[in-house]
């Protein structure tokens, strides 16, 4: 199978992703290559997905074997790999139960349903509201979109799901979490919102208010999780005890996957038939998840993420201001993010613009300091 040249166009695809000027056809480690043979340092990692980089030997061989064994069966049947990964995530997260789906959006959608149904089954019929934070991003389906307060994403899609509220400030969440709140959903570091670390004191105030009024705390670890921030889940660094955690992105190392994790009494609201998915938890995704978690959960691997993350953060000071984030989830401010990203790509470094002035840097977690040095060398060439 060959990909089309960067210069070719097709009228067959919808236009929702705009113009995509680079056509990537191959990857190895932290490098990807386009159809003209140009090499790029991949500091986007498929939007914080490719935790083990590209063509990782262990992941490749596990997936090859799984493809030759069994790819999909559906949730009509037991899937041993699903049970293994659930048990692994139980230990790594400290939560009790796991349900698999196929993306971050789906995980959040399921979390919202779980929170509402948990209240409903307790007889709290008015406890339906969901509170989210300013600059949050939780996905694009109607539920996830309704807790993603970016006006551009809402245009043309109203009415959104009722009962979803976002205050003007992070601290404002504490004031609107009430006896009618089913759950408040937070990201510890907001990726799409500009790589903003939500102040830990505010996260604690939100958690306390949730506890006081009997609302659930959902932590969206779709982007921050699976070692990205230097701990298996980012909230482990902040002593928070969520009722529900959502995961996706890095968990499959590139194979689509999502997961909702919950405390036992909350998870109990998903009684047989209450929620479901055809693909969620299929053997291929589970084999990927088992391999990625085995590598990423090693203390030495997580220490490596923190160490290289600190090195990368230092390096980024040369090219931008307001460098922020945790571990290998970093962002910086530049004059014109789109232009910076385009020039960086021309110099052989893939980065992502998340707003007009914010650039996100989320390389594969396997990067080494030498790769950061190479990034610096390539970006320095832009200044010449
Ligand atoms: C924090 C967060 N939640 C949810 C999502 C949506 O995940 P997906 O694109 O896999 O549906 C994203 C995607 O960027 C995300 O960063």
Distance 52 CA to ligand 1 centre (A): 19
pLDDT-based confidence at 3, cuts 50/70/90? very low
Ligand 1, CB within 6 Å, residue ranges:
47, 103-105, 108, 137-139, 187, 191-192, 220, 222-223, 248
State residue 162's pLDDT score.
98
State residue 383's pLDDT score.
79
State residue 7's pLDDT score.
55
Distance 196 CA to ligand 1 centre (A): 15
State residue 24's pLDDT score.
98
The per-residue pLDDT of the chain, averaged, comes to 96
Q: What is the pLDDT of residues 308-347, one digit of tens each?
A: 999 999 999 999 999 999 999 999 999 999 999 999 999 9
- Cα 199 from Cα 84, distance rounded (Å): 35
Which three-class secondary structure state does DSSP give residue 359?
strand
Taking the chain, what is the end-to-end CA distance rounded to the nearest angstrom? 39
Q: Mutate which of 141, 192, 353, 354 to test ligand 1's pocket (most atoms within 8 Å of Cβ)?
A: 192
Q: Mutate which of 50, 137, 144 to test ligand 1's pocket (most atoms within 8 Å of Cβ)?
A: 137
State residue 4's pLDDT score.
45
- Cα 299 from Cα 301, distance rounded (Å): 5
How many helices and strands, by DSSP H and E, does the chain display?
A: 13, 17
Distance 130 CA to ligand 1 centre (A): 18
State residue 10's pLDDT score.
79
- Helix ranges restricted to H, 97-251: 104-121, 142-146, 151-154, 172-176, 200-213
> Could you tell me the CA-to-CA distances from 242 to 32, 190, 206 in Å, in that order?
37, 17, 11
Distance 383 CA to ligand 1 centre (A): 33
What token pair was written down for 277?
A: 């998915």
Distance 69 CA to ligand 1 centre (A): 30
pLDDT-based confidence at 205, cuts 50/70/90? very high
Q: Which long-range contacts (CB under 8 A, 24 or more apart) does 22-31 make?
A: 22/345, 22/350, 26/54, 27/53, 27/54, 27/55, 28/53, 28/54, 28/55, 29/53, 29/54, 29/55, 29/56, 29/364, 29/366, 30/54, 30/363, 30/364, 30/366, 30/367, 30/371
Q: What is the pLDDT of residues 21-40, one digit of tens each?
A: 899 999 999 999 999 999 99
CA 19 to chain centre: 23
- Cα 187 from Cα 195, distance rounded (Å): 10
Question: Residue 229 — φ and ψ, nearest 5°?
Answer: -100, 10
pLDDT-based confidence at 157, cuts 50/70/90? very high
The dihedral formed by the CA atoms of 202, 154, 15 and 21, expressed in degrees to the nearest 10: -30
Q: For 242-265, what is the mean pLDDT? A: 98
Q: For 171-182, what is the mean pLDDT? A: 98
Ligand 1 atom, smallest distance to 108 CA? 4
State residue 1's pLDDT score.
44
> 362 or 2, which is more confident?
362
Q: Is pLDDT of 128 > 60? A: yes
Q: Is pLDDT of 182 > 80? A: yes
- Cα 49 from Cα 32, distance rounded (Å): 14
Q: For 199-225, what is the mean pLDDT? A: 98
CA 250 to chain centre: 7
Q: Mutate which of 47, 219, 223, 358 to test ligand 1's pocket (most atoms within 8 Å of Cβ)?
A: 223
Helix axes 57-69, 283-296, angle to 10 degrees: 160
Sort strands 244-247 and 321-326 into parallel, antiparallel or unpaired.
Answer: unpaired
Q: 168: burial class by Cβ within 10 Å (0-12, 13-18, 19+)? A: exposed
CA 281 to chain centre: 17
Domain 59-296 has what CATH class?
alpha beta
Residues in the chain: 384
Percent of the chain whose pLDDT exceeds 90: 95
Domain spans in the chain, listed from the N-terminal domain onward = 59-296, 299-359
Sort strands 181-186 and 244-247 into parallel, antiparallel or unpaired.
Answer: unpaired
């Amino acid at each position: 199978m060959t990909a089309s040249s960067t210069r070719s166009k097709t009228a067959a695809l919808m236009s929702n992703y705009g113009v995509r000027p680079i056509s990537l056809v191959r990857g190895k480690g932290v490098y990807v290559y386009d159809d003209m043979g140009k090499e790029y340092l991949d500091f986007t990692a498929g939007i914080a997905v490719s935790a083990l980089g590209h063509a990782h030997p262990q992941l490749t061989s596990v997936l090859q074997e799984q493809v030759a064994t069994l790819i999909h069966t559906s949730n009509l049947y037991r899937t041993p790999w699903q049970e293994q990964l659930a048990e692994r995530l139980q230990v790594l997260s400290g939560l009790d139960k796991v349900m698999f789906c196929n993306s971050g959006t789906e995980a959040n959608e399921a979390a919202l349903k779980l929170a509402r149904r948990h209240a409903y089954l307790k007889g709290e019929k008015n406890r339906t509201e969901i509170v989210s934070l300013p600059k949050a991003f939780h996905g694009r389906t109607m539920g996830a979109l309704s807790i993603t307060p970016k006006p551009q994403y809402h245009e043309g899609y109203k009415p959104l799901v009722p009962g979803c509220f976002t205050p003007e400030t992070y601290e404002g969440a504490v004031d609107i979490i009430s006896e009618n709140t089913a759950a408040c959903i937070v990201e510890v570091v907001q990726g799409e919102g500009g790589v903003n670390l939500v102040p830990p004191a505010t996260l604690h105030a939100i958690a306390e208010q949730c506890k006081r009024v009997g609302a659930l705390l959902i932590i969206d670890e779709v982007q921050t999780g699976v070692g990205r921030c230097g701990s298996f889940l980012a909230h482990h660094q902040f002593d928070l005890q969520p009722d529900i955690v959502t995961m996706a992105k890095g968990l499959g190392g590139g194979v689509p996957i999502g997961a909702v994790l919950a405390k036992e009494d909350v998870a109990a609201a998903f009684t047989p038939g209450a929620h479901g998915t055809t693909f969620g938890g299929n053997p291929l995704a589970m084999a990927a998840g088992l391999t990625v978690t085995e590598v990423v959960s090693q203390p030495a691997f997580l220490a490596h993420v923190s160490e290289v993350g600190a090195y990368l953060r230092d390096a980024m000071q040369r090219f931008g201001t307001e460098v922020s984030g945790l571990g290998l989830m970093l962002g910086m401010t530049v004059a014109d993010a789109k232009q910076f990203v385009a020039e960086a790509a021309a110099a052989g470094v893939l980065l992502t613009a998340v707003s007009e002035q914010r650039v996100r840097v989320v390389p594969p977690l396997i990067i080494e300091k030498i790769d950061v040095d190479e990034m610096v060398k390539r970006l320095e060439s832009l200044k010449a």
